[in-house]
Amino acid sequence: MAHWRSCHSAWSVHHDPVSCWRRTRTEEALIARIREVAPLLVFARAVLDAVVGDL
């Protein structure tokens, strides 16, 4: 039995490498997008905290 680390399946269990690859690529794209917008979210939070603090 071989373990496939990307989707945590094993060869003795039904494993579709194509859907596994698609899922992994989708997750990688989502992680990249989150890393891209995270600084903007932190900045927006700082601005909102400043606005609320001024009230």
Greater model confidence, 11 or 45 = 45
Check pLDDT > 70 for residue 6. Answer: no
Is the pLDDT assigned to residue 27 strictly greater than 80? yes
Q: Where are the domains of the chain?
A: 3-54
Q: Look at residue 38 in the predicted model and tell me its pLDDT.
A: 94
- Of the CA atoms within 13 Å of residue 51, those in its CB half-sphere come to 6
Share above pLDDT 70 across residues of the chain, in percent, rounded to a whole number? 71
Tokens matching residue 37: 């917008």
pTM as predicted: 0.47
pLDDT for the residue 17: 72
Q: Which residue has the tokens 């700082």?
A: 46
Top pLDDT among 14 and 31 is at 31
